[in-house]
Amino acid sequence: MTDEHKPGYAVDLAALREAAQERDWGKLQTALTRLMMELDFYVALEMTISRIHEHLPVFERAHPGATWARELLVGLVSYGIAPPELPPEAGEPHPSPGAANTIMALFELARGAERKTPLDNRMRFLANALANIMLADLASFWYGQHPEAWEQQTQHGEEINPATGFSVRQQIYAQFWLDETTAKRDTTNWLKLAEQLEHKL
């Protein structure tokens, strides 16, 4: 990488780390996307696949029949390409904390591996995949510690609390997002990703 590029990614790394402390996901995703575009495509792809693979056992414990997820990753590692679309099973309900974000990460990963797509768009898809798998990690961790919250959200999520005007789902999500352990894990995960990116650049 030439010297003229170094100041750019250094600025974006600093922005990523600052946004991680602030938990500003808008800024985090913007900085992440810019940094991903500085990477070699296959480095970015490997990094994204590895991060999803780390989380996959959580998804598989909740959905042992969803073998398509691991098959997709194995296919990508083996052949470097993804199928044009995810299998029909991916569109079926997967009611567990973080499952929707895991499936979205896999979807974005598949889009990122599509060779006919312009490179900049492929990098954006990989950045989105990383962000979604990080959200999946936060949700599965917190709701794993608070199973009663997941059950209440699932059964009564649309009910409105007349005292607050918010739905049960909105109130529980706020508890999840503002929880101290969630905040710490969120910031730590992003800082680890920043360190990994720095080593790759």
Per-residue pLDDT tens digits of the chain, which is 201 residues long: 444 545 578 999 999 999 999 999 999 999 999 999 999 999 999 999 999 999 999 999 999 999 999 999 998 888 777 777 788 888 888 999 999 999 999 999 999 998 889 999 999 999 999 999 999 999 999 999 999 999 998 888 788 888 788 898 999 999 999 999 999 999 999 999 999 999 998
Structure pTM?
0.91
CA distance 180 to 14: 24
Q: Which pLDDT does position 81 carry in this prediction?
A: 76
Q: Which pLDDT does position 6 carry in this prediction?
A: 54
Domain segments of the chain as ranges: 6-200
Rounded to the nearest 10°, the torsion over CA 139, 141, 144, 149 is -40
Q: Phi/psi class of residue 85: alpha, beta or left (left: φ > 0; alpha: ψ in -120 to 50)?
A: beta
